[in-house]
């Protein structure tokens, strides 16, 4: 379960993502404005690293951007740094492209192998936590058990998801969100 604080973020998530996307060679353009379409979250079993994946609309394209939030820099993670944000409840947060974060990689692998899903979202309010409806629904293709699946696979995150994408693996994470009713492949294991 992901706990979401009612907080002010400076810069905002959208601003942080737009700046970072514009600098990515795979993006191929400028992301002056990113319009969040949906998002999903995974949980860190240790409770230290926040994991959130966004679907943002930029120039008529939907982009899949998973990130992690950390309370301190990721050792050796400079190449994956998206930026830093000031969180009015949690303080400085280091935001990373989740592809380079070992906590995200392990959780994505588990979700795919075990047929897992996104986590429940709970928003902190003055009256206590309130469940929030997810805006994206994701599911791994696995059978519900990771038995016999040893080792760390190669992980591919699909940055521009579509329902008709052909991927070279049956071990996938697929998702739906408003405007995307057919499951689209979001990541796969090789």
- C-alpha distances (whole Å) from 153 to each of 73, 75, 115, 116, 140 are 25, 21, 16, 17, 15
- pLDDT tens digits for 83-140? 999 887 777 999 999 999 999 999 999 999 999 998 887 777 777 777 778 899 999 9
Q: Which residue has the tokens 């993502």?
A: 17
pLDDT at 142 over 70: yes
- pLDDT at position 90 is 74
Section 10-32 average pLDDT: 87
**54, pLDDT greater than 90:** yes
Whether 10 shows a pLDDT value over 80: the answer reads: no
Q: Which residues contact 44 (CB under 8 A, 6 or more apart)?
A: 50, 51, 103, 107
The pLDDT confidence band at residue 171, using thresholds 50, 70 and 90, is: very high
Closest Cα partner for 31 from 100, 79, 82?
82
Answer yes or no: are the C-beta atoms of 119 and 110 closer than 8 Å.
Answer: no
Please report the pLDDT score of residue 123 as a whole number.
Answer: 72
pLDDT of residue 146: 54
Please give the average per-residue pLDDT across 69-82, as a whole number. Answer: 96
- Kindly report the pTM of this predicted structure: 0.88
Rounded CA separation 95/69 (Å): 5
Report residue 81's pLDDT band, with 50, 70 and 90 as the boundaries: very high
Q: Which long-range contacts (CB under 8 A, 24 or more apart) does 177-183 make?
A: 177/37, 177/38, 177/55, 177/135, 177/136, 177/137, 178/37, 178/38, 178/135, 179/37, 179/62, 180/55, 180/62, 183/139
pLDDT at 160 over 70: yes
State residue 91's pLDDT score.
Answer: 74
Structure letter (DSSP) for residue 82: E
What is the model's pLDDT at position 3? 57
> DSSP label at 152?
P
Angle, vertex CA 19, rays to CA 119 and CA 40, nearest 5: 10
Which pLDDT value is given to residue 138? 97
The pairing of beta strand 121-123 with beta strand 2-4: parallel
Phi and psi angles of residue 27, each rounded to the nearest 5 degrees, phi first: -75, -40
Round to whole Å and give the CA distance between 32 and 15: 9
How far apart (Å, rounded) are the C-alpha atoms in residues 175 and 98? 17
| Maximum Cα interatomic distance, the chain, rounded to a whole number of Å | 48
Please state, rounded to an integer, the average pLDDT across all residues of the chain: 88
Q: Residue 5: which pLDDT band, with cuts at 50, 70 and 90? A: low
């Amino acid at each position: 379960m992901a706990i979401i604080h009612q907080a002010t973020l400076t810069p905002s998530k959208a601003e942080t993502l737009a700046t970072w996307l514009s600098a990515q060679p795979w993006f191929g353009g400028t992301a002056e404005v990113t319009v969040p379409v949906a998002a999903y979250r995974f949980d860190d079993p240790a409770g230290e690293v926040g994991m959130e994946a966004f679907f943002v609309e930029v120039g008529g394209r939907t982009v899949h951007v998973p990130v992690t939030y950390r309370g301190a820099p990721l050792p050796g993670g400079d190449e994956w740094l998206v930026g830093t944000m000031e969180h009015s409840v949690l303080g400085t947060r280091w935001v990373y492209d989740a592809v380079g974060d070992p906590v995200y990689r392990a959780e994505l692998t588990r979700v795919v192998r075990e047929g897992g899903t996104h986590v429940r979202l709970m928003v902190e309010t003055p009256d206590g936590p309130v469940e929030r409806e997810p805006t994206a629904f994701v599911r791994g293709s696995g059978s519900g058990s990771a038995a016999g699946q040893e080792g760390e696979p190669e992980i591919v995150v699909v940055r521009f998801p579509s329902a008709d994408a052909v991927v070279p693996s049956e071990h996938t994470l697929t998702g739906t969100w408003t405007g995307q009713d057919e499951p689209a492949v979001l990541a796969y294991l090789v």
